[in-house]
Structures are given as C-alpha cells and as structure tokens.
Chains A and B, each alone.
Chain A
C-alpha cells in the first residue's frame, strides 16, 4: 500500500502513462534498495517538473507578452533576472548533489547480515546461479532463477563468462555490470515473498533481448525446503518411457553442454538441468516451461531464440516423446 501511494505521488507524468505497475518496474519497489532509489526518483521528478514548468512559463511570457507602447527592457534589468535565475539554479543543483550523496550513503548502509551468498555469472544468453557454501556438498548450481529468503539481505557476486552483461532486477535494485575479468558484489533484499523479473541491461549480442531471469522470494522455511530439494540429485526415471528418454539425453549431444546431477551428464557450457521441471521458463525467460514449448525448443531452439548457442536436434517422434517425459520428470 505504501509503495502504491508513493507510486502515485511521484512521477505523475510517468504514472499517467502506466509506468508504475509491473513485474519489472523501477517505480514499484519490493526491497529497501529499490525503495530508496524510488524515493530519490520522486524528488528528481518533482525538481525537474517544477523547473521545467517555470522555465516554460518564462519562455511563453517572453514570446507572447504585449509590447505595445512598452520600452525595451534595459540590459541591467535583464542581467538581474539572469543572475537571479543562475543563483536559483546553483542552489537547486547543490541540493541535488546532497540528495544524491545521502541516497548513496543510505544504500551502502542497508543490512549486511547476509543470509547467504550467491555467485551469478552472465553467459551469452543465460544466467548461471551458484549458491556458495563452505561445505562443497551443499553448494548448489542452477540457472535463470534466483530463489532467496524474503526479508533477509543476500550477497550476490557478479561475473561474466564471455562479454559484458548487466544484472538488473528493477523491483529490487539498480543495475550492475558483469565484466569479464572483474567480480562485483552487491546486496539484494526482498521485503516480502514474491516474483520479480529482471533482464540483461547491457547489449551482449544477438539474443540480448531474450536474457531474462526471475528472482523468487520465499518465506524462510519454504526457502530452506526448496534449497534442500534442489540439492538432491535428479530423480531417477519414473518408468520405462522416461528411462528411454534418459538414454536419448545421454546418447545425444545434449550431454556435451548440460549437467543432470545423478547421471553421467556433466557439461558446464549450458544451464544445469537437474531440476529443470521446477523452473518457470525455458531459455532464460524466453518460453513458458510447458511440454509443447520444450518440444519446440529441443528440436529447433533457433526459431524461438535465433542465434542461440544450442544446436538443432534431429530426433524421431518416439525419441522426442521419451525425452520430454524424462525432462518433465526432473522436478
């Protein structure tokens, strides 16, 4: 409710045009970082709106005021007005600077008792997500979805495996670039459980437009259950059909790039598929995770995401059907 009121308060122009709502809107913050920035946004819009209105009124007056019988304005008078406007400008700019520095300081001061630490690596065009734990057996690798406990700050380390990407989940925080050769650390926090969409914000080649991720905040216990479940290896095939599907997976090129824990598949060039069926989308937010889309994706990834690194696959109808059954069982 408060964020809704805020939203109505600031950015009247943008709000009127529908900028406020949405799963990816910077004006609808869901965490303390984004909320602070949204408050600064509100100040900046108020400042810009006021100055713009005043200057435009002055321009309109200058253009259209009635001059009949009037003496031209003396240069001394003009100089006083220009000097006054200049003084006001300097004051406004200094206030801006102060607001900005205070916002930065407040951002830096937000909670540092991180619940956990996550490494996120940008790839062309997907996100590798790895939960850090001192016990190697409790490290967890997944892709394109970041699950976090609500109400707790999490530490995120940003890296890139190839070109520059930018990590951006507008409802939680501003964007931070992922630059090869560098590691950047940021904190995120979601106030309440929810789903927040993010998208790569630095042009990274062909499929820059289809490089999305979801941050899903759970209540703490639910998060712990999720984590424990994700640590398990992939469930074994449930029936003979699924077992045939697993054989397809392991005998086709899939195995070169993908990992399914609990099987010999251990490739790291592409997303970990151990719990593929538990995810919301395929191909980094490109397609909803349904059997039909999965079928289309496996056969011809390039029709949904032209230029993607995954090759086309030639599979018979039976092979495809078995493979889909197997993959759908990876919960």
Chain B
C-alpha cells in the first residue's frame, strides 16, 4: 500500500472508533467537543436573537413619550430578561462555546479533558435557559433587573416566584460556566500537541485560559450570592434584611465582585478572537505576542479590583472609593496596549478587506469609544451624574456589543468554513456589517446625550415635556436598522449552509492548527496528530508538520503532555458516549425548579441525582491489553 492508502485506512478506522452513535440517541449521548460546542453556539445565538427581539420591543415602547405599548409590569420583565439573557445565556456561553469547539482544535487535541462533564455543562445551561424563557412566556418572568438588588428582590417586595426564577437561572448558568472553565483549563494545560509550549499557545487559547480562571472566582461568588438570595426567599434567612441585621449592600458587593470581572470574562475571549482573525487578514503574525499575553493576565487580575465603581453612589467612604477610581482608570492601560498592538499589526501588514476584517475595524471604533466613556465614568463626580442613566446604557453597549459581539461576528465569519465546510456569503456579510454598525451607532450614540439630559435607566415611560422624545425615536430607528443587520446574518447562515461555496481546509491561509485538518473536522480531529515548532505552525512548517505516531486506532486515545513545555507524558483513553450526563442534568433541573416551591426540592433532587452519578462514575472492568 502507498502512504496515502495507509493513511486513508487508518482514518477510516479512527472514524469508526471516535464516531458516536447515530440518530437522536446519538445526539443525546454525544460527548464530542465539536457536537457539544456546535449546539452550544447555536443555542447561544438563539438566545441572542430572543433577547434582541426583546430589546427591540423595549425600544418601540420608548420610541414615543408616554407610550402604552407595554405597561410597567411587562417592561420591567422585558429589561430584566433582556439583561439576564444577554449576560448569562448569550455572552458568556457563546465565548465558552467557541472555546469548547476551537481550543482542542487549536492545540491539536482530539477532545476536551472531561468530555462527559462537558456534556453535562451544556445540558444544565440549556435547561436553565429554557426555564427562564418559559417562565417569561407564561408571565412569571423576573422583573427586578439583571442585578436583582435586594431588598427589592427579597421576599417582602417581590412576593411570588419571579425573583426565584432569576436566582435559579443564575445558579444553572453558573454551574455550566464553571464546568466549561474547568474543561478549558485542564484541556489547555494537559492536552496540547507536543511542542506547543505555553510560549507558543495561540492568543485565543491564552484568552480562554485567563477567562476560565476568572470564571472560577467570579462565578463562584455570584453562585454564593444567588443561593443566599434563594435562602432569604425560601427558608426565611435574613442575609440581606437590614431589620434583622442583614445588609442590602452586601448583595451589591457580592454581585459586582462577580459583575465587573464578568464584563472582562466576555471581553477577553473577544480580544483573543481579534488576535486570531488579524493574522489571516493582515498577512503577518499579530504584533506583540508577549505583551498581549501580559495584557490578558493583568486585565484578569485587575478586573477583580474594580467592582466598587458600580457602587459609587452608595456612599462609599472617599478614601476607599478613590482607590477603586484609580484601579478603574488604570485598567485602561492593558486595554490600550492591546488596541495599539492591533493597529500596529494592521499598519505593518497587508490588509485583506474581507468581512472578518470589517468587523475587526468596527470593533476598534466601537470599543475605543466605549473604553473612553468607561474612563470618564471612573471619575466619581461625573459618575454621580450619569450613573444609572442612559449615558451608562450607551457606554456599556459600546463596550459589550462593540467589544464582544463584533469580534464574535468576525470569528463566526472566520471559523464558519471550519465549522460547516461552507463559506458564508461575502456580499451578505458586508450588508450585515454595514447595517449592524450603522444601527448600533444610531441606537446608542444618542443615549449619551439622553443620559446627560437626565433620563434615568429602567424607566418604562417618560414625560413629553422633558424633551427626550426625538433622541429616543432616533434610537428606536437605529434599533430597527440593527435588527435588519442581524436578519441579514441569519439569512446568510441559512442560505450558506445549503448552497454556500464549499470550503477548503484552509480558506484564509491562516496560521493556527485548526486549519490543519479538514473542514469540518473528522470525529477524531487530527490524524496524524501534529507536533508544533512555532507560534504560527501553519505558516512556518507546511506542508510537512511533524507528526505524532503511536496512538491506538481502535481506542479513543489522546496524548497527554506536560503543562509548561508540552512534552509527551502518556496516552490516555478518553471516555465514550453516554446518556448519564443528560440524565444527571435533568435531575439537577428538577432540584432547582422544585426547590423554588419547597425546601424538600433539595432532598428530592439529591435522591434523583444519586443514581445517574453512581452509574456515571461506576468503575469499568479493565480493558484487555492489546498486543
């Protein structure tokens, strides 16, 4: 047999070993990071669309003064569900989803470190999201804001189940986020291709690694807070009740200790996406690899020292608040470094004006604007005027939509061929970019002026005589343009999936490892598994990537390498498809949902959860050793 024929037969064998079961059962039992990552991405995008429609209805309500489209009851649910969905069900999950799909491919692994846990994370997330939106649909959507300040969200001022729905949704998504963080950390540290030292780690993987560590600290804090809130509401604790020695400000400290890192949890992976997309469209490696990694690490650390700037109007002592002002101003330094490095890369490269680069440029425009208004609101006196006004709404939409959604769209246009084997249409991509960019600026720029003119956030209506009508109408028109942009994107995805130009393995001539395999990748990701000798393996070594040999074909084997230098350590057999993560997720769902109604939910849940966990973890008989 020729080498090619040998390779083809080995690949057939691997395909048989790694492919899960077919059909619906296969879908429920899959533990492949690609199929889980794919459904994670699709689910997150569906929630993005839902929360977007939600926002559009809010904009219609605010288009004219004293409008009666939505009453206060519905409007308060709409803005709460919009914020909760965008933060907990879209922004964090989509970056983790892209991480779960692409981190193994970018480091030359065949799956994530704990494939079954990974499946559990997705199912828990899905149940949490469906729970929130079902509640919303039947009129018990939470209505106390995505930040659910006590005592408003406490048992006295929000009787009924709405605040419980919020608290449990948060707990669901925290579990999913913590699982994804553990996956990404262990996968990155232990499953890299030989030769991919930490010093050669792609910047997207670096950003996911830093983010994952931030998730561990931030999400466990908010999970604590949401459980304390649930205990206040369910079993009459008084953590936050001032009449019984509790403290409403405690909630704010816990929430923002999570809430501020949260925006960097959303933003850092987006910077990783920018650093990933740029090389292919500037035809050079990103300038300043080392300093970019340092910027990620410093941002990760510093983001935990800023939370009090969300509380500057609560009467924090001057000395203390000045510290947080200084920290809030200083975090602009690593962000500034990143922006300068990217502009330098474009300057010295040869820009290729395809859709991903347009989104990168749009990102730089939006993010620099939002970053600067961020520096402005770090100033305490100025913040006391604009805090909780539309100025801040404008600021964080520039930062979050500009700073995160633009890079995500850039990354989707860039990675779509790898995900699906088809190219997205360039023409529709340009329309998408143009409408989205114009719509965003039209929607959010006028809000700066509205905030300074005195319009507070979270109001379902405003008086005609205050003169805010014109700018609000403009913002609503902008929101419609923005929505059209997203519709064009959806059309692009659907038509390209059916009739798109089919994609070669490496359509962009990009530099990282995911382009070394076919589009879409086979179940086993790589054969042969590559070995890496530089930061841009596809540019420095093709077509002769050095290879790993010696992994079994009839077992799901994965090479485990050392943490710092990725020296081969051992071979590990990876677990195969199983139904138990799905069953365990259902049991967790029953626990959380019933415990809204009775503390016995926790007991019932434990009883339901035990069997699938036992079955999941039951030791298997040792395999016979193959010759």
Counting chain A CB atoms within 10 Å of each CB, the highest count among B73, B315, B365, B457 belongs to B315
- B135-155 near A? 1/0 per residue, CB < 8 Å: 000000000110001011000
Whether B384 lies near A37 (C-beta < 8 A) is yes
- B448-472 near A? 1/0 per residue, CB < 8 Å: 1110111011111111001100110
The stretch of A71-79, A218-226, A258-266 that contacts the partner chain: A71-79
For the complex, give the distance between the alpha carbons of A51 and B371 in Å. Answer: 11
Q: Looking across the interface, which residue of chain B has its beta carbon closest to that of A89?
A: B336
Whether A62 lies near B346 (C-beta < 8 A) is yes
Whether A56 lies near B365 (C-beta < 8 A) is yes
In the assembled complex, how far is the CB of residue B473 from the closest CB belonging to chain A, in whole angstroms? 12
> Taking A41-B385, A72-B349, A181-B248 as contacts, is the C-beta distance between A62 and B454 under 8 angstroms?
no
Whether A48 lies near B375 (C-beta < 8 A) is yes
Whether A208 lies near B453 (C-beta < 8 A) is no
| 8 A Cβ contacts from B435-455 to A | 445-446, 448-450, 452-454
Whether B453 lies near A27 (C-beta < 8 A) is yes
How many B residues have CB within 8 A of the partner chain?
84
Whether A203 lies near B458 (C-beta < 8 A) is yes
Q: Looking across the interface, which residue of chain A has its beta carbon closest to that of B247?
A: A181
Whether A55 lies near B343 (C-beta < 8 A) is yes
For the complex, give the distance between the alpha carbons of A89 and B350 in Å. Answer: 27
> Taking A177-B313, A177-B315 as contacts, is the C-beta distance between A96 and B450 under 8 angstroms?
no
| 8 A Cβ contacts from B495-553 to A | none
> Taking A55-B368, A78-B347, A82-B341 as contacts, is the C-beta distance between A44 and B315 under 8 angstroms?
no
In the assembled complex, how far is the CB of residue A105 from the closest CB belonging to chain B, in whole angstroms? 9
Contacts of B71 in A (CB 8 A): 306
The stretch of B114-122, B174-182, B326-334 that contacts the partner chain: B326-334
Whether B151 lies near A162 (C-beta < 8 A) is yes
In the assembled complex, how far is the CB of residue B576 from the closest CB belonging to chain A, in whole angstroms? 47
Whether A26 lies near B343 (C-beta < 8 A) is no
Whether B384 lies near A21 (C-beta < 8 A) is no
Whether B287 lies near A78 (C-beta < 8 A) is yes
Contacts of A45 in B (CB 8 A): 376
| 8 A Cβ contacts from B356-384 to A | 361, 364-365, 368-369, 372-373, 375-376, 378-384
| 8 A Cβ contacts from B381-418 to A | 381-389
Whether B379 lies near A26 (C-beta < 8 A) is no
- A143-165 near B? 1/0 per residue, CB < 8 Å: 00000000000000000001110
Q: Is A17 in the interface zone, CB < 8 Å from B? A: yes
Q: Looking across the interface, which residue of chain A has its beta carbon closest to that of B368?
A: A55
Q: Looking across the interface, which residue of chain B has its beta carbon closest to that of A207?
A: B72
Q: Is A166 in the interface zone, CB < 8 Å from B? A: yes
Contacts of B454 in A (CB 8 A): 22, 24-26, 170, 197, 199
Q: Is A238 in the interface zone, CB < 8 Å from B? A: no
For the complex, give the distance between the alpha carbons of A238 and B144 in Å. Answer: 47
User: Residues of B at under 8 Å CB distance from A?
Assistant: 71-73, 76, 144-145, 149, 151-152, 157, 242-243, 247-249, 284, 287-288, 291, 313-315, 318, 322, 325-326, 329-330, 332-333, 336-337, 339-341, 343-344, 346-351, 361, 364-365, 368-369, 372-373, 375-376, 378-389, 445-446, 448-450, 452-454, 456-463, 466-467, 470-471
